[in-house]
Structure formats: C-alpha cells, structure tokens
Structure 1
Amino acid sequence: MPARICSTVAAAAMAAMIAMPASAGDFRLTSPDMPDGRMPAAQVLSAAYGFGCDGDNRSPALTWEGAPAGTRSFVLTVHDPDAPTGIGWTHWVVANIPADAQGLDTGASGNAARLPAGAVETRTDFGLPGYGGACPPEGREHRYVFTLTALGMEALPVATPEAMPALIGFFANAHALDKAVLEVRYGR
C-alpha cells in the first residue's frame, strides 16, 4: 500500500477510535453454549489438527442485542490473548455480518447456509478461514475473548476468505461504533 494511502487510513482509524463513544452497556454478546463462562468440549479443537486436544471443534451459538444506532454490519473475532506466541492467537473471524442479524447458530462456521447472507469467514491463525477451537498448552487456563464490533459501514471491502485477522481488525476498528465482548475460559 502506498505511504500516502497508509497514512490516510491510519489517520481515519485513529479518528474513529478517539471518537468511539464509551459503551453504555446496552450492546451485549452472549452464548447459550457457554452460559457459565467456560468453553465446553463441543467448542474445543479436534484431534485432527494435531495440537493434542480432542473436542468437536464446533463454533458456538452467539446472540447479541443493543447494537448502537447507525450499525450497518458487524465483525466477530475470537482471540486467545494468553497463547504463548507473544501476540495471542486468533481462533475465528467473521466479517460483513448484516446489521439485522441477531446471532449465529451453533456449528455455523464452515456452513454458508447457516451463516447470515453476506457474512465472510476469513483466515485465522490456523491459516485457514473458519472456527478453530480452544486448545491451550497443558497446565494453564486461557481466556477466549469473543468480540462483536458494530460498524458504521455495510461491508469491509477487504473481507475475503484470504484476509488476515490483523487486516480485518484494522479496518473494523477504523469503522467501529461500539463493541460487545464475551470472555470464556478453558484449560487442560
């Protein structure tokens, strides 16, 4: 990206973050699959990935309410800030979720018919689009932070299945109206 475009985009992102109002607590994200704040086996990574976990690797159901006025779409990210990488680990990214959506069904990841029309799953730190469940190293519990960002634009033009999590995050933050966060824990 040329330097002039980068500085313009960076300035827009900074202005959006400064102007973003503090949440009044009305915008909420919940999950009927994780009501006690714990990640159950259904949402844990499967043995097929070779990380040593043996879950079902099924994306959880999520519901939300209280999106701010002017919301035109949403971006969902799931991030483990405790992963031993120095920068955490992104487990799921769904962009361009329509503003009229009120949630995602259990197992929606990887099933276009179960995702809201227009929603795009992008790459994660597993290298592919779609949900990758929890699988921390043994010995310590990790936090899994589900963040739903309400955007003032209909779609992120950079949201393709090949887009990296940082790119989606950069543009989502540049157009954020508010965020709803759900944190769950898992350890083995």
Structure 2
Amino acid sequence: MNIWSDSFIDGGVVPPECALCVIDPGNHVRFSRNRNPHLAWDDVPHGTQSLVLLCHDPDVPSVGNDVNQPDRVVPLHLPRVDFYHWTLVDIPVALKTLAEGGLSEGVTPQGKTGPLLPFMVKNGTEHQLRQGVNDYTGWFASDPAMAGEYYGYDGPCPPWNDERVHTYIFTLYALDIPRFPLEGRFTGAEARLAIVGHILDEARVFGVYSLNPEVAATLA
C-alpha cells in the first residue's frame, strides 16, 4: 500500500496553508488557513473492508513549563509525547484521494463538529465518514474563547520557542472490518488501540514544521 501528498513531498516541509499557525514577526504566531493536505493512496490489499487515517506529531513536549514562554526555550532533548491532529475512520475502499482543503478550511473556535462527516464519494453516493476529536481539545480547554471539542483536522502549531523540528505523520491503515469499532466520541490514541488486530497493511507519509524562526530557516 502507498500513500502520498501533492501538498508536500515525503519528508518535506508542511506548507503554511496546511498549518493551524504560521510565524508572525510581531507576535510570534498567528492563525493560518488550516487546510487539510491533499492525500492519495493505492495498492490497497485484497480483503480490505475499510480504511482509517491518523495524523500525529510525536515531538510534543512532555512538560509544558517552558512552552511559548519569553526568554526560555523548549530544549531539544526534552522527552516528547504524541499529539493527534486528525482521526478519520470508516473510509470506504472506493475512496482513493482527499483534496487539499476538502475537509478543513480555516480555524474554527470551539472546534469543528463531529463525529459524523457526510462525504460524497466519486461515484456520486454519499458516505458517512466519522472523525475523532484531536488533541487541541485539551490544548484549548483553559481558553474561554477557544475551548470546545475539536473534531477532524487541525494542523501544525508547535511551540514557537521549541528547538526541535516537529514531524507530522499521516498513516493510512487498511482494516479487515467494514466499520470502525468505537462509537460516539473517541480520540486518536483510542482509535489506534481499537484497530489493533484488524490491520491488513499500513502506509505513511510525513512532513516537518517549525514556528521557531531559527529552526524554520534551516528547513527552507
């Protein structure tokens, strides 16, 4: 199975329009267009009954004391944890591509709605995809203007003082079941555990991103 993106090359920089935030010289960061990237795939194995797509960043600081604090840095060697940016399930085998901006366009305070996501498949039939809550749900929980349930895709917004380049991994899983086994609200981490034992194959593509101007300059 193969997966690729026309929005960025494998291992290349995630484009600013596909990020939640971009560098702002006057205020460190500002919101961006937050478009989901284009993704396409082929060679899905025989017997696949549905697909699951996850996007996660494995480079999120495990301790947040220094995050986005003036006159401090998040050190390169600080232990890191996973942060899920997107969980899309019940993808039909007939679907082969997702257009850039087709499922996310702009930043939505309090988050996009979910989990149901009506989607028109190429043959003209409507299919009910489902999306999990991403980890901005926890990140924005203490901000009255932003707090809510963040379903679907919300792109990169790593700490602007982080010494580490962040990696955004898009993984597609081919499953031997027609419907994802969890109902209602679920997270990316819960989704990954739920599909254990049902994975026929998987493929991944990744991009990198930074909001630290010194680090970002090395990626250009």
TM-score scaled by structure 1?
0.76
Question: For residue 156 of structure 2, what is the aligned residue in structure 1?
Answer: 134
Q: 1:145 touches 1:184 (CA, 8 Å); kept in 2?
A: yes
2:84 counterpart of 1:109: no
What is the one-letter code of the residue matched to 1:90? Y
Q: 1:79 touches 1:145 (CA, 8 Å); kept in 2?
A: yes
Question: For residue 62 of structure 1, what is the aligned residue in structure 2?
Answer: 39
Q: Structure 2, unaligned stretches of length 5 or more?
A: 23-27, 63-79, 106-116, 122-126, 138-149, 212-220
What RMSD, in angstroms, separates the aligned Cα atoms of the two structures?
2.1
Question: For residue 33 of structure 1, what is the aligned residue in structure 2?
Answer: 7
Query: What is the aligned residue count?
Result: 158
2:118 counterpart of 1:99: no
Give, in angstroms, the shift of residue 114 of structure 1: 4.8
SS, match of residue 52 in structure 1: strand
What is the one-letter code of the residue matched to 1:143? T
Q: Which is worse superposed, 141-150 or 37-46?
A: 37-46
Matches within 5 A, 1:114-125: 114=119, 116=121, 117-125=127-135
Question: For residue 9 of structure 1, what is the aligned residue in structure 2?
Answer: none
CA distance in 1, matches of 2:94, 2:136: 29
Greater per-residue strand proportion:
2
Q: Structure 1, unaligned stretches of length 5 or more?
A: 1-26
CA distance in 2, matches of 1:108, 1:114: 10
Give, in angstroms, the shift of residue 174 of structure 1: 2.5
- Deviating runs (4+, > 2 A) in structure 1? 51-54, 108-116
Give, in angstroms, the shift of residue 110 of structure 1: 5.0
What is the one-letter code of the residue matched to 1:168? A
- For 1:61-109, what per-residue CA distance to the aligned partner results, in whole angstroms no more than 9, with x for missing partners? 1000011111111000000001113422100000010111101111232
Q: Which residue among 147, 163, 169 is the counterpart of 1:145?
A: 169
SS, match of residue 90 in structure 1: strand
Question: For residue 157 of structure 1, what is the aligned residue in structure 2?
Answer: 181
2:57 counterpart of 1:80: yes
Question: For residue 14 of structure 1, what is the aligned residue in structure 2?
Answer: none
- For 1:121-177, what per-residue CA distance to the aligned partner results, in whole angstroms no more than 9, with x for missing partners? 1111112211111111134311100000000111113143x2122221112232100
Greater per-residue helix proportion:
1
Which one has the largest radius of gyration?
2
SS, match of residue 136 in structure 1: coil
2:143 counterpart of 1:166: no
